[in-house]
C-alpha cells in the first residue's frame, strides 16, 4: 500500500477509535448516573431473539 493510502487508513482508524472511546465514555457516565442498567450476555441474547421474532412476525403479517 502506498504511503498516501496508508495515511488515509491510519487517519480513519484514529477517528473511529476516538468515536468509539467517546461512546464508551458516554455509556459509562450514563450507567454511573443511574440512567441505564447492565444486561448480561445471556439476557441480552434472549432479548435480541425476542426482538427478532417480533420483526419476523411483522414481516409475515405484511406478506
C-alpha angle 27-28-29 in degrees, rounded to nearest 5: 90
Query: CB under 8 Å to 37, separation ≥6 — which residues?
Result: 31
Grid cell, residue 26, equals: 458516554
pTM of the model: 0.55
**pLDDT of the residue at 63:** 65
Q: Render each residue's pLDDT in the chain as its tens digit; 63 residues.
A: 677 888 888 999 999 999 999 999 999 999 999 999 999 999 999 999 999 999 999 888 876
Amino acid at each position: 500500500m502506498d504511503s498516501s493510502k496508508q495515511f488515509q487508513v491510519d487517519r480513519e482508524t484514529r477517528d473511529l477509535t476516538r468515536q468509539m472511546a467517546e461512546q464508551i465514555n458516554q455509556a459509562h457516565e450514563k450507567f454511573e448516573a443511574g440512567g441505564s442498567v447492565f444486561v448480561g450476555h445471556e439476557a441480552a441474547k434472549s432479548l435480541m431473539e425476542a426482538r427478532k421474532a417480533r420483526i419476523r412476525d411483522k414481516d409475515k403479517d405484511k406478506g
